[in-house]
A and B are shown apart, each in its own frame.
Chain A
Amino acid sequence: MRALAMTLTDLANPSRFLRLADVAIPWLAGATALAFAYAIERAIFAPDDYQQGATVKIMFLHVPSAWLGMLCWGLMTIAALGTLVWRHPLADVAAKAAAPIGAAFTLLCLITGSLWGRPEWGTYWVWDARLTSELILFLLYLGVIALWRTVEDPSRAARAVAILTLVGAIDLPIIKFSVDWWNTLHQGSSVFRLGGSTIDSTILIPLFAMTVAFTLLFVTLLLAAMRNEILRRRVRTLHLMKASAAS
């Protein structure tokens, strides 16, 4: 526990974080490429579902995207606490860097879900609880990105975004349990459920492989975006110095 606290304290130094990111990002990118090579090979040779046929292959994109959209908001919620409670210097950097990535994966989840829904349900969209709560998550991401762009001072923007993020976290359990609480066209849980997964291992293994690959990609992108955000703040500081020197 103390070691973890020490690590978090060490990472609070942006220069130290940059050095760590410079080393970690190429290794993570390599691991992501290998994971995708394996996962795509498994996905291509996965058998068709006995009911859905080949459209089940859309699940290999849809489920990891949905997972990352929610994971990202979960991380942003922890970062929001880091900003408001502990004032960790990297918390708002992480929150700002994560928002566009989370938005992109949530958008991919909505697109692939829609493209999967048309052949299976006969419609691209229906206002059921799961789809609507996922759309709300996407809109929340857009709201966070807009808020970051609206308030110029990063520390003031961070506090406003942190509050919006904490409020938006209410949507996460709604997304997860919407299929249990309401009668939805979207199917219920089939991977993580009491009594075990209902998916056959020939489809479940590629799904897990793709989820691992997507998660590695997410970690790589998040570290790279955090590095960019730290550099952007350095640019801002240098511009302010230049302006004050000129006046």
Chain B
Amino acid sequence: MQATAHIDFILAAYAAGIIVIGALIAWVTLDYRAQRLTIAELEMQGLSRRSATARAEPVKRAAKEGA
């Protein structure tokens, strides 16, 4: 009896829960894609962090020496 009386409040609370949690999941997912995409675009332009370049350098040198 009471359930029917207050069902709108219960549904509104669960709807708010779905919206807030959905927004959080969407935010982290879309942000991850956006950052990955931007890094890929910048790397396509020949930019890379010094630490990444330093790590890749010995491999490149070894490959050159091997050739």
Mark interface residues in B21-41 (1 if CB within 8 Å of A CB, else 0): 101110111011001101100
Partner of A237, one of B24, B31, B49: B49
Majority secondary structure, A binding face: helix
A238 at interface by CB-CB < 8 Å: yes
Contacts of B43 in A (CB 8 A): 238
> Across the interface, do B2 and A242 meet the contact criterion of CB distance under 8 Å?
no
Least CB distance from A90 to B in Å reads 16
Contacts of A237 in B (CB 8 A): 49
CA distance A123 to B38 in the complex (A): 48
CA distance A231 to B23 in the complex (A): 20
Contacts of B23 in A (CB 8 A): 104
Contacts of A115 in B (CB 8 A): 9, 12-13, 16
A144 at interface by CB-CB < 8 Å: no
Using a Cβ–Cβ cut-off of 8 Å, how many residues does chain A contribute to the interface with B? Answer: 39
Partner of A221, one of B6, B28, B47: B28
Closest partner residue, chain B, to A111 (CB atom)? B16
User: Would you list which residues of chain A between 51 and 90 have a CB under 8 Å from chain B?
Assistant: 52-55, 57-58, 61-62, 65
Closest partner residue, chain A, to B48 (CB atom)? A238
A202 at interface by CB-CB < 8 Å: no
Partner of A238, one of B12, B16, B49, B51: B49
Q: How large is the interface on B (under 10, 10 to 19, 20 to 34, 35 or more residues)?
A: 20 to 34
Question: Contacts A231-B35, A235-B35, A242-B47 known; A119 to B42 CB distance under 8 Å?
Answer: no
CA distance A58 to B21 in the complex (A): 15
> Across the interface, do A55 and B28 meet the contact criterion of CB distance under 8 Å?
no
Question: Contacts A48-B2, A228-B28 known; A54 to B39 CB distance under 8 Å?
Answer: no
**Which of A54, A104, A119, A232 has the largest count of B CB atoms less than 10 A from its CB?**
A54
> Across the interface, do B20 and A232 meet the contact criterion of CB distance under 8 Å?
no
A-B contact pairs, 22 of them (CB 8 A): A53-B1, A54-B6, A55-B2, A55-B6, A55-B10, A104-B20, A104-B24, A108-B20, A111-B16, A112-B13, A112-B16, A116-B13, A225-B28, A228-B32, A231-B35, A231-B36, A232-B35, A234-B49, A235-B42, A238-B42, A238-B49, A239-B42
| Residues of B participating in the A interface, judged by any CB pair closer than 8 Å | 1-3, 5-7, 9-10, 12-14, 16-17, 20-21, 23-25, 27-29, 31-32, 35-36, 38-39, 42-43, 45, 47-49, 51
